[in-house]
A and B are shown apart, each in its own frame.
Chain A
Amino acid sequence: MKKLKKVVSLLVVTSMAVASLAACGTKASSGGDKFFIGGIGPVTGGAAIYGQSVKNAAELAVQEINDAGGINGVKIEFAFEDDEADGEKAVNAYNTLKDKGMKILMGTVTSGACASVIDKTKSDNMFQLTPSASSKDVLALGNVFQVCFSDPNQGIASADYIGSKGVASKVAVIYDSSDIYSSGIYEKFKAEAAGQNFEIVAAEAFTADSKTDFSVQLQKAKDAGAELVFLPIYYNEAALILTQAAALDYKPIFFGCDGLDGILTVENFDTTLAEGVMLLTPFAADATDEKTAAFVKAYKEKYSDTPNQFAADAYDAIYIIKAAIEKSGAKPSMSVSELGDALRGAMTQITVDGLTGAGMTWSETGEVNKAPRAVVIKDGSYVSAE
């Protein structure tokens, strides 16, 4: 008898489990009266800063558009899910958003996670625009558009700039070998440098597990006589590198890509250390043009924080989706796949003036065409390096 009870109780538990599965079954997709845009990015864990910036700025843009009457009179619904910068979690986040009724994807924020989602959007034929996933792998299936520059482009542009302007003749590189973004830029930079009139005298790596002590990398660059240190990395580590270089009495020109943007907003950071740092970036939070000023003001009011380049990319992304919807005349009642076809068709035809570039256009492959701007930090703010 006892055994029978056990079997019965097991069956009860099983059926309860099944019931709970069914309870969270597909909800009817939320009607056809709104454009449902989903966002994915890390809002917890080590990369949380990037995801939170994207989430905040996208919500700000959506609110602005809705307050102004929506797109062709249709409001936007926006939902954001956490992926912890992990591919598997990104797929889960994507599925969660699909259950909620998402029809357009703005994401994901990081390259590695993004590359895991592209085949999902490919098979669903969902429109995907990533604000900040810059790896070339993201474009592999030809169904994703980027707001940011791709990594190879940044590497080439940086090498070109240093070479053609004659900024330095001996260059050292410090990069994150465990990061897709950083190693992607470094590889192209190195290839491009071969044809330029400068020499890479030291190329030193660090990894996600040891990113606090850069004394060795800096010492090597110093000993090799590098006049310029190229930093294709994010600003958190760059702030540490600048501090440690100062402690070593090493004062080369530091040169970075869009990841370096944000270095002046690191709380409590001694910005005099960043004096003379050059970077190729499409966005500067203290630019004086009307658009940027308005965005920065609104962002500061809402989140009491200075927006970084990720935020600007996400803000642009929402407006790019708006432009594509307007161009294609898409309707919220269209299915995911119809919207995907319509928006992809429109992307190669539109021109968008955004925070991260004027006159942005897109190629068939999904890459953005916009001019990178070289800026230099002077008296604690960006000025054009030209």
Chain B
Amino acid sequence: MKKWNTINKSTRNNIITIGVIVVIYAVCQLMIAAGAMSNLMQGLLVPLCYYSILAISLNLTVGILGELSLGHAGFMCVGAFAGAFFSKSTQNGIGSSFVGFLIALLLGAIAAALFGALIGVVVLRLRGDYLAIVTLAFGEIIKNVINVLYIGLDGKGFHFSMKDSEALNLEENGTIIINGAKGITGTPKHTTFTIAALLLIAAYLIISNLIHSRSGRAIQAIRDNRIAAESVGIDITGFKLLAFTLSAAMAGVAGVLYSHNISTLVATPKNFGYNMSIMILVFVVLGGIGNIRGSIIAAVILTLLPEYLRFLQDYRMLIYAIVLIVIMIFNWNPTCIAWRKNHSLRDILHSLTGKNKKEA
């Protein structure tokens, strides 16, 4: 126990979180092997991982950097299409292999990071809700452009068009890779639970290390008081850009996981529109702004909730909305917070075991 206490607090927290993820991962694998897990749950394992990655990456922007972003799904969309585009166009070569998938992941991250940096440069001039609206605008632009983007591949190389697939002028044996609103079909299914879980752990480590690094402290200083931070010589532009780009890159990775988990990739208001961005924001706010572990827990609970409410049939989304409102009020209302303090589970546990709180 003594040794445990000598490790610094953040490392201890990391070990606990990663330990829990690993334990859950192992239990899930055991259950799958034993055939004890429902098909629904098996199908949800990968989405749970990429939603968690999305949640913690957005937490970097919202919680650590303190800027509201409503376009996170846009970065996910860029990553998803970049990764799937690579896998699809090299399907008969490297794209079908594990190395190919790693390249796809990398490409997705780079593409999303590029867009993140681009938006970041714009964002630096704006504050608060104006920033929120620019990110929202960006997400909508991406979705709209991808819906009219046609890219084909034949012997002569790639062909682009913003009109329709006819305008590509493909040769007989050419294939259309991105087909406008029909998106990309037949992306190889490379994403596995193992890869997704590993990437989640990696994302967690990157962000928690960043928070406790010199750069992370600078970023948080900008969040808490920009003017004070500037006055002590912190490079505001540079650090903001760093955080924003990193956040976008991780969303891009989540996008690649998404596109390689589902056989068709289309950009609809449902999956890459502002609704999805808001959904991810809900994960972050519910899990606690700035709380990385909380983001993961919230992402998991809120992804499972609508699935396990299916028995309610038509009332499912209604109940979901009510639960959302109630949780927010329970979490943030001063009276509720006070009530929770007086009735906390830990105190009840302590009183049950006959121990006074102060002894602990």
Contact = CB atoms under 8 A, between A and B. Distances in A.
Tell whether any CB of A sits under 8 Å from a CB of B in the complex: yes
Interface of A: 1-7, 9-10, 14, 17-18, 21-22, 24-27, 43-46, 81-82, 84-88, 91-92, 94-96, 98-99, 112, 115-116, 118-119, 135, 137, 140, 176-180, 182-184, 186-187, 190-191, 205, 207-209
Interface residues on B, range: 35 or more
B164 A112 contact: no
Contact of B147 (A4, A84, A207): A207
B238 interface: no
Interface stretch (B41-49, B52-60, B334-342): B41-49
Give the most central of A2, A5, A82, A88: most B CB within 10 Å.
A88
Contacts, number: 145
B49 to A, nearest CB: 13
Contacts of B27: 18, 21
B346 A9 contact: yes
A86 B35 contact: no
A43 B314 contact: yes
A53 to B, nearest CB: 14
Given A1-B360, A4-B1, A86 B268 contact: yes
Q: What 7 pairs across the A-B complex have the smallest Cβ distances? A: A115-B264, A95-B39, A95-B40, A95-B43, A98-B39, A119-B263, A86-B270
A22 B36 contact: yes
B221 interface: no
Nearest to B163: A203
A178 B181 contact: yes
Contact of A116 (B28, B264, B307): B264
Contacts of A140: 185-186
Given A2-B360, A81-B310, A177-B180, 10 more contacts: A3-B4, A4-B1, A5-B346, A25-B36, A26-B35, A44-B317, A85-B270, A86-B270, A98-B40, A115-B185
Nearest to B37: A25
Contacts of B5: 3
B263 A116 contact: yes
Interface string B17-45: 00010011001100100011111111110
Interface of A is mostly: helix
Given A183-B181, A209-B140, A92 B346 contact: no
Given A25-B38, A180-B181, A91 B268 contact: no
Interface of B: 1, 4-5, 12, 16, 20, 23-24, 27-28, 31, 35-44, 47, 140, 144, 147-148, 164-166, 180-183, 185-186, 189, 258, 262-264, 266, 268-271, 273, 307-308, 310, 313-314, 316-317, 346, 349, 360
A92 B41 CA distance: 9
A46 B37 CA distance: 32
A26 B189 CA distance: 24
A21 B40 contact: no
Contact of A177 (B36, B147, B269): B147
Contacts of B165: 187
Interface of B is mostly: helix
Contact of B42 (A44, A95, A176, A190): A95
Contacts of A178: 144, 147, 181, 268
Nearest to A4: B1
B332 to A, nearest CB: 22
Nearest to B13: A6
Given A44-B317, A115-B263, A178-B181, A18 B24 contact: yes
A355 to B, nearest CB: 25
Contacts of A6: 16
Contacts of A27: 38
B148 A177 contact: yes
A252 B12 CA distance: 73
A96 B307 contact: yes
15 contacts: A3-B12, A10-B16, A10-B20, A27-B38, A84-B270, A86-B268, A86-B271, A92-B40, A95-B38, A177-B180, A180-B182, A186-B164, A205-B148, A207-B144, A209-B269
Contacts of B360: 1-2, 5
A6 B19 CA distance: 14
A322 to B, nearest CB: 25
Give the most central of A115, A135, A205: most B CB within 10 Å.
A115
A243 B148 CA distance: 27
Contacts of B16: 6-7, 10
Nearest to A114: B264
A378 B215 CA distance: 72
A182 B264 CA distance: 17
B43 A183 contact: no
A99 B311 CA distance: 13
A22 B182 contact: no
Given A4-B1, A119-B189, A88 B271 contact: yes
Contacts of B183: 112
